[in-house]
């Protein structure tokens, strides 16, 4: 009998508790979960420590502004993404009109455009000296800004608009997947009862898609809390910007941790609200009748409105910004294409690839550990390890930096006392800190993808492998990995793309004079040098396009009978 398979018994009085589920896999999974949650715990502990009355100062000056601005930003972005995401998902899933097949994947393209990039571009287009206002002044003979009114792009409303344009795909993606999975029978029953497309949507399709929509809007709001580049460029005072300012400009870690703790309350509220909204509610299909959705053929004005509704977010969320980026890249190509750009691109690629590989390895390890021992305690630990994706990057950055700083100080003190030498900073302020931050934040993506794929593999496969003399590791290598390789590739691709776009974590944790494409674009665009940063911004967008298109076609192909749908006219 091996140690891993041994059954351990602990005697507590007259009670004997079985610990047979404890082995190398479970211990490793628990250790990873504790390490992943450590930065969040660190933030909470620091916020409870004395801070020279900085909290009283923040509470009486900027805290009310941070709370109100963050709430307004979340409400605005949430409302906009719900309207665009659900509306367009219903149109391309249930209606038939010219261009529908193109819009199915095109509506996901804005997901490849980081919010801070689109903010820089539209500011350049819509500001007072931009081409739009210059054209208006030439057309109407206006001479000064007092002669006319034009919305201020660098404002809370501007930030809401920019984030809505690039975040609505989260709601669209999950809503469309939910609509595609709905049974034809319930829709046919609604039509038999005399309800048209409009009433069927609100009374049948929308309630059935509610769980997916709630998850989508939760992701949108978490991404809104995480944003740094847009709010910094537009000078919108949110918690993320406040944490950055208090920590780096005021040099007060405790104050930044206290703001981060308040921000964690927002995150906790979102998680609990999502759970509460789905309490005691179950949505089941009562039939296995799945075939191509019948669809409502639109005619006349309805057809035109559907095309406009789908084209609007694609044009303004991707086509126009991408076109401007391409134009700037051609104009400034010789200036932008230099050794620095290549170096920053290599930094981004190396960091993102390293984080993606490590995240997938850890995700496979954790998912397989849960599969081997499906214990409640282990599940709780894994859920805690996945919490990092819900926590904004600025909050994680505080926890990561303080945690690694404490480890560095401990190692340095030990080496001084034992050998009389100083090791300096081994982890904090290095690439290791950035990589660790990426792993904590995006581990949930890799684990979720691998776990979902592993759950589809019948346990009989494990039993057959064990009966042939293969242990857990050999079974994983010979049986499971070949079966879930598509999900592993998808998970690595998702983590890689998100790391390429990540800004707040990278800005705070990166080494001195170390730039990625994201930090390079942010720095140059903030200095009104968008042309010089256009090639780097276009590179970030390019990395995100392929996964978006692949994801869209995967959703379309998931519906039985989708290839037999009558061609759009």
Is residue 519 situated within a structural domain?
yes
Spell out the long-range contacts of 546-549 with Cβ–Cβ below 8 A and sequence spacing 24 or more: 547/112, 547/490, 547/493, 547/494, 547/497, 548/105, 548/108, 548/109, 548/111, 548/112, 548/169, 549/105, 549/108, 549/109
pLDDT at position 181 is 63
The C-alpha atoms of residue 560 and residue 542 are separated, in whole angstroms, by 31
| Of 158, 107, 531, 127, the residue nearest 319 (C-alpha) | 107
Is residue 122 situated within a structural domain?
no
Is residue 294 situated within a structural domain?
no
DSSP E strands: which ranges in 350-500?
Answer: none
Tokens 């049986």 correspond to 479
Is residue 170 situated within a structural domain?
no
| Of 203, 197, 201, 200, the residue nearest 175 (C-alpha) | 201
Please list the alpha-helical segments (H only) found in 278-338.
300-314, 320-331, 333-336
Is residue 87 situated within a structural domain?
no
The C-alpha atoms of residue 361 and residue 67 are separated, in whole angstroms, by 38
pLDDT at position 14 is 41
The C-alpha atoms of residue 161 and residue 142 are separated, in whole angstroms, by 27
pLDDT at position 321 is 93
pLDDT at position 1 is 42
The C-alpha atoms of residue 439 and residue 369 are separated, in whole angstroms, by 18
Decide: 536 and 336 in contact? Cβ < 8 Å: yes
Q: Total structural domains in the chain?
A: 1
Look up residue 139 and give its two tokens.
């057309």
Ramachandran bin of 295, using left for φ above 0, alpha for ψ from -120 to 50, beta for the remaining angles: left
Look up residue 563 and give its two tokens.
């290839």
Is residue 473 situated within a structural domain?
yes
The C-alpha atoms of residue 141 and residue 173 are separated, in whole angstroms, by 45
Look up residue 381 and give its two tokens.
């630990």
CATH number at 477 reads 1.10.3720.10
The C-alpha atoms of residue 541 and residue 290 are separated, in whole angstroms, by 36
Spell out the long-range contacts of 272-275 with Cβ–Cβ below 8 A and sequence spacing 24 or more: 273/218, 274/214, 274/215, 274/218
| Of 135, 168, 129, the residue nearest 316 (C-alpha) | 168
pLDDT at position 188 is 55
pLDDT at position 26 is 76
pLDDT at position 555 is 59
Question: Residue by residue, what is the 3-state secondary structure of 33-47?
Answer: HHHHHHHHHHHHHHH
The C-alpha atoms of residue 434 and residue 447 are separated, in whole angstroms, by 20
The pLDDT profile of the chain, 569 residues, written as one tens digit per residue, is: 444 444 444 444 444 444 455 667 778 888 888 888 888 888 888 777 766 667 777 888 888 899 999 999 999 999 999 999 999 988 888 788 898 888 988 898 898 888 889 999 999 899 888 899 989 898 988 888 888 888 889 999 999 999 999 999 888 988 887 777 655 555 555 555 555 565 666 566 667 677 778 878 888 888 898 888 899 889 899 988 888 888 777 777 778 888 888 888 877 777 777 666 655 555 544 444 445 555 678 888 889 999 999 999 999 999 999 999 999 888 888 877 776 888 898 999 999 999 999 999 998 888 888 887 777 777 777 777 777 777 888 888 888 888 888 888 888 888 888 888 888 778 887 899 999 999 998 888 888 778 777 777 777 777 787 787 777 778 888 887 887 877 788 788 878 888 888 888 898 888 888 889 999 988 888 887 888 888 888 888 888 787 776 666 665 555 444 544 444 55
User: The domain containing residue 443 runs over which residues?
Assistant: 23-49+332-526
Tell me the C-alpha to C-alpha distance, in Å, between residue 538 and each of 113, 324, 327, 521.
9, 10, 10, 10
The C-alpha atoms of residue 248 and residue 242 are separated, in whole angstroms, by 10
- Separation of CA 473 from chain center: 31
Decide: 510 and 516 in contact? Cβ < 8 Å: yes
pLDDT at position 85 is 93
pLDDT at position 553 is 64
pLDDT at position 168 is 93
Look up residue 354 and give its two tokens.
């390293």
Is residue 424 situated within a structural domain?
yes
| Of 40, 34, 31, 30, the residue nearest 441 (C-alpha) | 40
Is residue 70 situated within a structural domain?
no
DSSP code of residue 387: G
């Amino acid at each position: 009998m091996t140690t891993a398979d041994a059954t351990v018994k602990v005697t507590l009085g007259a009670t004997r508790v079985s610990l047979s589920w404890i082995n190398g896999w479970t211990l490793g999974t628990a250790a990873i979960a504790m390490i992943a949650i450590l930065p969040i715990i660190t933030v909470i502990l620091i916020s409870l420590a004395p801070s020279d009355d900085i909290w009283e100062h923040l509470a009486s000056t900027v805290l009310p502004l941070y709370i109100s601005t963050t709430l307004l930003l979340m409400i605005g972005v949430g409302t906009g993404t719900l309207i665009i995401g659900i509306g367009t998902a219903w149109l391309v899933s249930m209606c038939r009109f010219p261009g529908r097949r193109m819009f199915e994947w095109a509506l996901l393209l804005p997901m490849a455009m980081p919010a801070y990039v689109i903010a820089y571009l539209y500011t350049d287009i819509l500001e007072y000296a931009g081409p739009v206002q210059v054209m208006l002044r030439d057309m109407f003979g206006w001479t000064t800004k007092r002669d006319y009114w034009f919305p201020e792009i660098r404002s809370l409303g501007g930030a809401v608009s920019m984030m809505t344009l690039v975040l609505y795909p989260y709601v669209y993606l999950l809503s469309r997947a939910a609509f595609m999975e709905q049974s034809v029978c319930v829709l046919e029953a609604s039509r038999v009862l005399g309800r048209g497309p409009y009433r069927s949507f609100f009374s049948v399709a929308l309630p059935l898609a509610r769980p997916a929509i709630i998850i989508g809007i939760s992701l949108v709001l978490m991404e809104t809390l995480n944003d740094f580049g847009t709010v910094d460029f537009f000078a919108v005072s949110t918690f993320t910007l406040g944490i950055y300012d208090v920590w780096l400009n005021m040099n007060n870690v405790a104050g930044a941790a206290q703001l981060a703790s308040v921000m964690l309350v927002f995150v906790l509220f979102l998680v609990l609200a999502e759970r509460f909204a789905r309490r005691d509610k179950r949505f089941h299909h009562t039939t296995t009748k799945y075939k191509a959705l019948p669809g409502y053929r639109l005619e006349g004005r309805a057809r035109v409105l559907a095309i406009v509704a789908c084209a609007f977010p694609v044009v303004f969320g991707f086509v126009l910004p991408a076109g401007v980026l391409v134009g700037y890249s051609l104009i400034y190509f010789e200036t932008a294409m230099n050794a620095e750009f290549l170096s920053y691109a290599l930094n981004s690629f190396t960091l993102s690839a390293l984080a993606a590989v490590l995240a997938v390895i850890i995700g496979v390890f954790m998912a397989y550990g849960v599969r081997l021992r499906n214990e409640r305690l282990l599940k709780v630990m894994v859920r805690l390890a996945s919490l990092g994706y819900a926590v904004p990057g600025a909050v994680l950055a505080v926890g990561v930096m303080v945690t690694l700083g404490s480890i560095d100080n401990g190692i340095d003190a030990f080496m001084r006392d034992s050998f009389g030498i100083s090791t300096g900073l081994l982890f904090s302020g290095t690439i290791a800190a950035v990589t660790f931050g990426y792993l904590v934040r995006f581990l949930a993506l890799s684990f979720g993808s691998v776990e979902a794929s592993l759950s589809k593999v019948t346990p009989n496969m494990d039993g057959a492998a064990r009966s042939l003399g293969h242990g857990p590791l050999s079974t994983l290598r010979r049986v499971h990995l070949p079966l879930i390789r598509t999900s592993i590739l998808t998970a690595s691709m998702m983590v890689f793309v998100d790391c390429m776009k990540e800004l707040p974590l990278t800005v705070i944790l990166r080494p001195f004079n170390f730039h990625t494409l994201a930090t390079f674009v942010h720095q140059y665009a903030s200095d009104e040098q968008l042309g010089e940063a256009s090639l780097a911004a276009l590179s970030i967008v390019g990395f995100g396009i392929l996964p978006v298109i692949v994801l869209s076609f995967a959703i379309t192909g998931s519906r039985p009978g989708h290839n037999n749908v009558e061609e759009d006219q």
